[in-house]
Structure 1
Amino acid sequence: MKISRIAVASLLALAACGTADTPSTPAPGANGALTPIKLQLQWFYQAQFAGYIAAADQGFYKEQGLDVQLLEGGVDIVPQTVLAQGKADYAVAWVPKALASREQGAGITDVGQIFARSGTYQVAWKDSGIRTAADLKGKKVGNWGFGNEFELFAGMTKAGIDPGKDVTLVQQQFDMQALLKKEIDAAQAMSYNEYAQLLEAKNPATGKLYTADDFSILDWKTEGSSMLQDAVWANTEKLSDPAYQQQTVKFLTATIKGWAFCRDNAEKCRDLVVAKGSKLGKSHQLWQMNEVNKLVWPAPGGVGVVDETAWKQTVDISLTTKNQTGDTVLKKAPEGLAYTNDYIKQAIDKAKADGVDVNGTSFQPATVTLTEGGA
């Protein structure tokens, strides 16, 4: 998921907006009625959000007394802003961007770190000689900007490269055309989305689709500069309300069930996402479901639990890594209740009591065959 210039402007408006007044939260399922909940997603419907889609479709939210409405994201929507303004009850957002919003006044808390791993790559042609971050020196390096570039910049800095002097930075569109046309040497890509677009493209020299052997990947998890991404964020002020606390546990319990369902039923969840209106094809969505599952599972500490080491690395990079303009994601360490594992641990216990495998220790990714254009 990326963030647009419009979205950045919206994010920067947070300081002026503040946090909207919100009514007290009714107890979930009180008097047999379902409690309406709005979850703001951070991008268009795709398998990146399959666990939430499945939890709604399979009735897991209703089991918890909740009627959850999924709000589709887009180029001009900043989910943490929507949450902070009281227009949603929860939101899905990358940790660095949400922390930047908190620094600007958004009262939000990470209550469920669903993606335990980063899915960001930098991809180059195999014959480029680019194998590590150090190999980017002197190259044309694409990136999306808008806060998506800090893993790349941290990786280069760690390798002794000055991102402002030692590479030629190119503003990359949200696709892989610049790499395919060899206008840049390395392109930013999500493992579950843009990288698949390369493997769905036809090699004009052979008439066949490109394969993984045609490319080299810089995986920021391997390079040691990865940052936490998709998390469930809640309204910090409302977390002082016992009813909202109870609602949050119920919401997370059902969400855990949704992600476990998609781990065990990848093709079914692919179909749910396509039926939801995704613009991407079936093979692309199955690839995405498989890759997203790798970011969630296995979850040794339980799905959604914030790992303190990964959190610290994300914060350290946010504080110290500069982009080409010299800006960092954060100017100071997060204050207040930036995250809590209290509610996700309660949800894990409830899901386990219902027979859900919350660790996914035996998870094994599938081999997905892509078709041209991801159809």
Structure 2
Amino acid sequence: MTTQRKRTVRAASLLAAAGLALTACSGMGGEAQPAAAPAATANDACETVDSVTVVLQWVAQAQFAGYYAADANGHYDDLCLDVTIQEGGTNVVPQQVVASGNAQFAVSHVNKSMVSREQGADIVNIGQVFERGAYLQVSWADSGIDSLDDLAGTTMGSWGGGNELALYSAMRASGVDPTTDVQVLQQPFDMSMLLNREADSVQAKTYNEYAQLLESVNPETGELYQPEDFSAINLQDEGFGTLEDGIYARDSWLAEGDNADIATRFLAASYMGWADCRDDGDACVQLVLQQGSALGTSHQAWMMNEINALIWPSTNGIGRMDEAAWDRTVQGAIEGAVLTAEPVDGYRTDLTEAALALVEEAGYDITGTDWQRAEVELVEGGR
């Protein structure tokens, strides 16, 4: 029996075990359309395959490796799905693409998504992939900026586009008003503003921009910069962690036909992809590089390692919402004047519970208790 055929048989048994009939793969409501003909089905256990789109927050990189792994390793195929992975960009707001009905799923942050929901977007969190946050505010070690209240009276780079929400919430909670107490500069999506000393501090993520600093050459030494050259305020460590990458869908779409079943299968396959990247990060780095990423191998390896650290170990199982973390994120957004009130029914847990039944039935570890951070050596330019 071939590997593909083994996966097909396993998928059929998994769907049956979870109470999801294979015939439910056909005739779905909403935007998800069945394949035009049996020849288009990637898995011969499926009567038809449901076509859906997931919109990422940014371009192809290890931040989204789990979705590419779910596709490349056949998990979407096994669960009767044909998934289009749509890259994000400066002009793409994933949750708004979903809210407009142009995609079924989005990868987004809680703050960004709940702001959109408060403004009328019909979106709900159905799976919280990242358990921990990655926002940093980085300055030079000699800047005197060691805490959030030190930002008062400084110039500060910020990306905007919703990325400022977590930072602004934390600043306001620390007694610093970002609209009056600092000069905010539009930050490019690199570290040039800090390296050129055009701002006292800039935004960064542990898995991306911080690595850009450490793969840059210090002109005074001719060697790469080191962590001790910088002061990095980690919002998570400061008690202002916010829930970042989760999976969102439209409430109204989920209520149509068997779309909740489609979402369950999408979640299950995606969680399997993330488990693959936990267990073989190097393979997932190669998958992302094959997408044509402009980021180099060592940079992507750093990112994969740091992304895994945001997911694993997963305290309650990947995708399960931590109610306390949700409340902390929402309350911080309210105190920081990002949200005006707590969102009603902003997340649901039933789809992830059904998805994790499939994941465990497939023999996957959903907590990754034994995962440990690897040592990654950065090289100049992240090559």
Change (3 A) 1:62 1:179: same
Match for residue 227 of structure 2 among 203, 207, 212: 212
Aligned to 1:368: 376
Rounded Cα–Cα distance in structure 1 between residues aligned with 2:210 and 2:230: 10
In structure 1, the residue corresponding to 2:166 is in which secondary structure?
helix
Rounded Cα–Cα distance in structure 2 between residues aligned with 1:151 and 1:88: 26
Alignment of 1:68-147 (within 5 A): 68-147=83-162
Q: Give the superposed CA RMSD.
A: 2.0
Match for residue 361 of structure 2 among 337, 340, 353: 353
Deviation string 1:90-140 (CA, Å, 9 cap, x unpaired) is 111111111121122221111011111111100111122322212223322
Match for residue 280 of structure 1 among 295, 298, 302: 295
Rounded Cα–Cα distance in structure 2 between residues aligned with 1:150 and 1:238: 27
Change (3 A) 1:260 1:24: closer
1:319 aligns with 2:331: no
Aligned to 1:332: 341
In structure 2, the residue corresponding to 1:174 is in which secondary structure?
coil
* Count of paired positions: 348
Aligned-partner residue type, residue 58 of structure 1: N
Deviates more, 1:67-76 or 1:46-55: 67-76
Match for residue 350 of structure 2 among 329, 342, 345: 342
Rounded Cα–Cα distance in structure 2 between residues aligned with 1:31 and 1:374: 42
Aligned to 2:240: 225
1:256 aligns with 2:264: no
Stretches of 4+ moved more than 6 A in 1? 24-30
Change (3 A) 1:329 1:137: closer
Measured after TM superposition, the shift of residue 246 of structure 1 is 1.2
Aligned to 1:10: none
Rounded Cα–Cα distance in structure 1 between residues aligned with 2:276 and 2:203: 30
- Give ranges in structure 1 of 5+ residues lacking alignment: 1-20, 322-327
Match for residue 22 of structure 1 among 30, 46, 67: 30
- The answer on whether the counterparts of 2:56 and 2:64 sit within 8 Å (CA) in structure 1 is yes
Rounded Cα–Cα distance in structure 2 between residues aligned with 1:265 and 1:24: 31
Change (3 A) 1:253 1:24: closer
- The answer on whether the counterparts of 1:298 and 1:363 sit within 8 Å (CA) in structure 2 is yes
Deviation string 1:145-194 (CA, Å, 9 cap, x unpaired) is 23212322233333333333433332222211111111222111011111
- The answer on whether the counterparts of 1:112 and 1:232 sit within 8 Å (CA) in structure 2 is yes
Output the TM-score relative to the length of structure 1.
0.88
Deviation string 1:324-362 (CA, Å, 9 cap, x unpaired) is xxxx33233213x31111111111122112110100111
Rounded Cα–Cα distance in structure 1 between residues aligned with 2:59 and 2:314: 26
Match for residue 171 of structure 1 among 162, 166, 186: 186
Larger radius of gyration: 2
Change (3 A) 1:254 1:372: same
Aligned-partner residue type, residue 277 of structure 1: G
Change (3 A) 1:181 1:22: same
Measured after TM superposition, the shift of residue 78 of structure 1 is 1.2
Change (3 A) 1:22 1:242: closer
Rounded Cα–Cα distance in structure 2 between residues aligned with 1:244 and 1:44: 27
Measured after TM superposition, the shift of residue 271 of structure 1 is 0.4
Rounded Cα–Cα distance in structure 2 between residues aligned with 1:31 and 1:370: 44
Change (3 A) 1:151 1:78: closer
Measured after TM superposition, the shift of residue 242 of structure 1 is 5.2
